[in-house]
Amino acid sequence: MFVLAGVVALIACLFFLYGKTKSIRRIKIHGQGVLITGCDTGFGHQLVQRLDEMGFTVFAGCLSDKSQGAETLKRICTKRVHILQLDVTKSEDILQARKTVQKGCAAPGLWAVVNNAGIDSFGDIEFCTLDMYRRVAEVNLFGMIHVTKVFLPLVRKSKGRIVNVTSVKGVLSRPTISVYGATKFGAENFSDCLRLEMRKFGVKVSIIEPGNFGGLTGIVKDQNLKRLMNEMEIMWEHAEDDVKQAYGRAHLEGQFTGLHKALETCSPTMKPVIDALEDALVNERPSVRYLVDGGRGLVDWYNLYARIHYYLPSKWMDFVLDTSWNRGIR
């Protein structure tokens, strides 16, 4: 009883601390450049529009500069928005983007880079192929690293910002997310190291950790959803007989049934994440981390677990996560 009361008190204190508002001193916006990756859909797509309205010069990196999302941005945004062909796994795209950015924001300079591009994969470790680990890491981790290294000299000169979008899954692990989670944990470490190294140059580094917003973004929709379903078949086909017998086909299929209902369980709006991204870019004293609650209920359970797991023994958290996983709280 005493332990339970202590946990409840701790949770209440955390909600109080995270819910506190602080006075914000914002930078003056005069056309500074911001490069954003992954703007075809999701957070990147929405952030381009928000920053355009605020008066930034925006370089919107899209997987294809002729995608539906890219064409939409061309139609609805002002001339301050420049659409770039930017596949973060391709060196030639990144280097060409730097040339375009250098020409497009020579006077006000490049204020910030927002590393937002990402893809997902699901599955138990015994089912996931090495190709899945490599492909997701090329986008989520090595793409982020490459873009940052190429553009960091420009940001360093402006004493600007690097803002990296990770995930609550880069804070707390759970079953079936090792492919995605390994890249997000890596991105957290990369961001922390970068922040410490950039302190002497006046460059601020922030991490955005969205909770349950996946159904709104492109990460589990349309072509990406089809890719994930195809991966399920590939995993089953390549699994050894012993693995198939140990887990069973129904176990594998059960992990993917929820993807089709992602829109029903995630946050109804991306606004909390876009607000966090905006704050990281314009607040004179941005937070190091923004753990952003999503979901449809009163509590984003996974984010709550992420907040308390630092204070509880690992065995306790294993029990909580295992119980929640079996009850379908994901």
The pair of three-digit structure tokens given for residue 37, joined into one six-digit string: 């990756």
CB 239 within 8 A of CB 197: no
Q: State residue 36 phi and psi, 5-degree precision.
A: -125, 130
Secondary structure of residue 266 in the 3-state scheme: coil
Secondary structure of residue 214 in the 3-state scheme: coil
- Distance between CA atoms of residues 272 and 121, nearest Å: 24
Listed in order, strand segments (DSSP E) in the chain are: 33-36, 57-62, 81-85, 110-115, 161-165, 204-210, 289-292
> DSSP code of 216?
T
Catalytic residue list contains 180? yes
Looking at 18, 133, 180, 311, which residue is catalytic? Answer: 180
User: Which residues, 6+ apart, have CB-to-CB distance to 25 below 8 Å?
Assistant: 283, 284, 285
Q: Which residues carry out catalysis?
A: 180
